[in-house]
Structure 1
């Protein structure tokens, strides 16, 4: 095994169990480590800190895995980590919920690995060279633990490119998922597409927030923006919203949403599905002097990094300003950000600026976060990416 020596003073985060070592922290490499293989990480005095995955192509040069020197990272170690992650989430599965995140990367000591369960199928994402090298072992353990009908890989090309990996999408075990897999969340049925579209078009990280937001919609007129396959829309119908307008730029998302509304037996006469750019549609609604009681804004990630935060803040502000303009006194805005670079306090400030520009006085009445199958490891606060606010216009 090759050794990596860290600069004095650059080893603090590693000692504090943070899983990332950046290339600038490395003082010396002893040997010729291969990308994706395990290395020992040591202080300048050659004191053991941790085992980690090495990758010379990545800015995160080492992804730390294990801080106990006597616990060698072999196939049994990987299988144990997969088993622990899956076991901790079993209680979340029921007749009313058969979709859950089984493995959440660094939070589960498996950096670069995401595994989602959609009914009888698993969707995996592999974003690090170490996971790529051991992928067959992980898939074998998942098959033993979950016995899925099939495992389909949908790995993000940009993340893999940073690790020096080629694109990887396709069937990895069992049978190919059908065009639409039926899942159940909060007692609502969905047809989702695992193999195409924007990942699955369905995000189980919003499971609790969809339910919570729906508690405020009975008898209300609802606007669901960035609706994807209809998570917030269908929860609103279940809680007896008087009408729902759902907006998304994706034709596949709108088609899937419409099918989901019919499949659950909701009244299509009180539902309007619109394929449009959301900002453009919000401008149109404002020009037409439309008003809603509850508006949901769940956009894609605007800030992929801290460098993009200023630009993203402006985009969030403008989007929320347009939403707030469509609300009267007592109206509610459920607004979300899945940008890890934006913390909740910054998000609150952005929404406050949006309200000021919209000429609205607002109150924050609830905060939203990610559910327990997306845990935040204490030593890796970067894993807390999803945040939301329920805002009331006063």
Structure 2
């Protein structure tokens, strides 16, 4: 096995179980390993630190896997890790919930692998060359553990470019998923598109937050911004919302939302589906003097990296300012950020600035985070990406 030695003083994070070794931390190698090869990582005093997977093309040159020198990184190791991840989530799969994230990359000591279960189908994403080399093993173990009807890959990811990997979309096992796969979350039925939908098909990371937010919507007029397939909309109607306006720029999202309303028997509710840029539509609502009781803003990732944080902060501030201007005293704003580079304290400050610009006095009455199938590993705080705030206009 090829051996990598780190510069003196560059080994602290690795000792503390952080899974990333950046290229600048490497002092020397016995030889240049192949991309995706398992390597041994040592400190400057030749003390073993961990096993990892090497990639010369990535800024994260080594993704660490295992800190116990007596363990072997073979097919059995990968199978055991997958089995442990699945076992820790089986209690989440019930009659009222048939969708769950089974593997969450670094948080589950499987860097570069995302696995989501959608009813009888599984969707996977492979972000790293290390996982790419054992993909057949991963698929075989998932089949053994879960016996799905089909496994579909959605590895059309920007991160693969940095690993020297081309996009990879297609069926890996069993049946091709139909155009719409039915799943149940919080007792609500969703028709989701695994093949063409956003990300791996559905945002199950908002499961708890949809339910928590919906508790405030009974008899209320609700605006669901960036509604996608209607998670917050459907939960609001389940809890008795009087009216919901759902906005998304994607025609497929609006089509899927309408299917979901019908699948849950919400055909007679007061609902308006709007295909539009959300910021533009919020501005139009403000110009028209419209008001809402509850507003949900769940935008895409504005800050893909820390270098983009300043620009993203301005975008978040402007979005939330427009939302707050549509609320009267007592109105609620459930606002979210899925940008890992933005921590909760920074997000609070951004929303506070938005309130000042909107001329609103606000209270933070609840904080939202990601659910238990998206765990945050103590040695990898970067895995905490989803945060949200429930804001009340005073």
- TM range, smaller chain: over 0.9
Q: How does 1:281-360 map to 2 (within 5 A)?
A: 281-360=281-360
Structure 1 residue 202 displacement after superposition: 2.1
Check conservation: 1:262, 1:268, Cα contact below 8 A: no
Structure 1 residue 190 displacement after superposition: 0.5
- Equivalent position SS for 1:116: strand
Cα separation, 1, equivalents of 2:213 and 2:117: 24
Structure 1 residue 187 displacement after superposition: 0.3
Structure 1 residue 200 displacement after superposition: 4.5
List per-residue Cα deviations over 1:206-258 (Å, max 9, x = no partner). Answer: 00000000000000000000000000000000000000000000000001101
2:270 matched residue in structure 1: 270
2:171 matched residue in structure 1: 171
List per-residue Cα deviations over 1:77-114 (Å, max 9, x = no partner). Answer: 00000000000000000000000000000000000000
Cα separation, 2, equivalents of 1:241 and 1:200: 29
Check conservation: 2:124, 2:200, Cα contact below 8 A: no
2:63 matched residue in structure 1: 63
List gaps (5 residues or longer) in structure 1: none
1:210 matched residue in structure 2: 210
What TM-score results when the alignment is normalised by the length of structure 1? 0.99
Check conservation: 1:113, 1:128, Cα contact below 8 A: yes
1:127 matched residue in structure 2: 127
Check conservation: 1:261, 1:268, Cα contact below 8 A: no
Check conservation: 2:125, 2:200, Cα contact below 8 A: no
- Equivalent position SS for 2:81: helix
**Greater mean deviation of Cα atoms: 186-195 or 24-33:** 24-33
1:138 matched residue in structure 2: 138
2:187 matched residue in structure 1: 187
List per-residue Cα deviations over 1:327-352 (Å, max 9, x = no partner). Answer: 00000000000000000000000000
Cα separation, 2, equivalents of 1:115 and 1:18: 21
Cα separation, 2, equivalents of 1:262 and 1:36: 46
1:89 matched residue in structure 2: 89
Cα separation, 1, equivalents of 2:157 and 2:235: 32
2:256 matched residue in structure 1: 256
- Equivalent position SS for 1:300: coil
2:117 matched residue in structure 1: 117
Structure 1 residue 289 displacement after superposition: 0.1
Distance 1:201 1:274, change over 3 A: farther
After TM superposition, which residue ranges in structure 1, 4 or more long, deviate above 6 angstroms?
Answer: none
CA-atom RMSD, angstroms? 0.7
List per-residue Cα deviations over 1:244-286 (Å, max 9, x = no partner). Answer: 0000000000011011101111144500000000000000000
Check conservation: 2:116, 2:200, Cα contact below 8 A: no
2:150 matched residue in structure 1: 150
1:28 matched residue in structure 2: 28
Would you say 1:41 and 2:44 are equivalent positions?
no
Check conservation: 2:107, 2:380, Cα contact below 8 A: yes
Cα separation, 1, equivalents of 2:3 and 2:207: 43
Check conservation: 1:127, 1:156, Cα contact below 8 A: no
Structure 1 residue 199 displacement after superposition: 2.2
List gaps (5 residues or longer) in structure 2: none
Distance 1:25 1:340, change over 3 A: same
Structure 1 residue 201 displacement after superposition: 4.8
2:370 matched residue in structure 1: 370
Structure 1 residue 44 displacement after superposition: 1.4
Q: How does 1:3-14 map to 2 (within 5 A)?
A: 3-14=3-14
Check conservation: 1:6, 1:43, Cα contact below 8 A: yes
- Equivalent position SS for 2:134: helix
Check conservation: 1:124, 1:151, Cα contact below 8 A: yes
2:229 matched residue in structure 1: 229
What TM-score results when the alignment is normalised by the length of structure 2? 0.99
- Equivalent position SS for 1:65: strand
How many pairs were matched up?
394
Structure 1 residue 301 displacement after superposition: 0.3
List per-residue Cα deviations over 1:38-96 (Å, max 9, x = no partner). Answer: 00000112110000000000000000000000001000000000000000000000000
Structure 1 residue 122 displacement after superposition: 0.3
